[in-house]
Amino acid sequence: MSHDRKPQALGAKLREIRRRKGLTLDAVSRAVGISAGFLSLVENDKTDITFSRLSALATFYRIDLHGLMPHAAPALAVLTRRDGPRNRIVSQREQVEFAFIAPHPSHAMVPLLVTIEPGGRWGEPSQHAGQEIAYCLEGLVDAVVDGRPYRLHAGDSLYFEGMVPHSFSNPGTVAARLLCVMNAAFMPMEAEAAPPQTEAASNPSGTTPRGRASA
């Protein structure tokens, strides 16, 4: 898998967003079901994170995935060359790479070029706000949406509600590629009205109990 931008920037961005919202690790842990210890490792770039968990964090923070990436100023038209730099999220454990195509979180769509290595698969189903369409560009992809299996060959597409549990895997012997486009369900960070209401929001001391979910 290629790396045009180091994914280590992701942890610092997650930490920045959490602190900007006045939330403790324990509060986020309780809300999304991910252990505070694991969240700390992610924020300090000591481990990667699965796409489903990243989606859960983005939904909780009420931002689109674009809001987690470095980006240039918005423009009416942006050309991205196929060999040009792109922001990427890499999950080594899942053997999946997500490359962002559009350059700014204010755009109405979130297009991702998803590469799944042979044998790669989502560790757990993903859920996110909005709707999504997945178009198989290359290889073979097994999709599961709301517990129902679908096999995608090159040229096949699948349209579904983002909040329905869904996952993808590659049962083939060569890398598979998907073009996944989600509609942006939230406003950019700068335009948000208020952080999510949690116990931590009314408890500045941050003395909420630790979440019980394990990493």
What kind and span of H or E run contains 80? Answer: none
This model's pTM is above 0.95: no
Total domains in the chain come to 1
| pLDDT tens, residue by residue, 148-180 | 999 999 999 999 999 899 999 999 999 999 999
Closest to 96 (Cα-Cα) out of 113, 116, 118: 116
Residue 42 has which token pair? 């992610």
Inside any domain, residue 152: yes
- The whole-angstrom separation of Cα 95 and Cα 118 is 8
Residue 110 clears pLDDT 90, i.e. is over it = no
The confidence score (pLDDT) of residue 54 equals: 86
Integer-rounded Cα Rg, in Å, for the chain is 17
The confidence score (pLDDT) of residue 165 equals: 93
pLDDT band at 142 (very low <50, low <70, confident <90, very high): very high
Instruction: Please give the residue that has the higher pLDDT: either 91 or 114.
Output: 114
Domain hosting 178: range is: 88-183
For residue 149, the domain's CATH number is 2.60.120.10
Inside any domain, residue 37: no
- In this prediction, residues 99-112 reach a mean pLDDT of 74
Instruction: Look at strands 141-145 and 166-169 and give their pairing.
Output: antiparallel
Closest to 128 (Cα-Cα) out of 177, 194, 70, 183: 183
Inside any domain, residue 96: yes
Inside any domain, residue 33: no
Taking the CB of residue 25, how many other CB atoms lie within 10 A of it? 22
Residue 41 clears pLDDT 70, i.e. is over it = yes
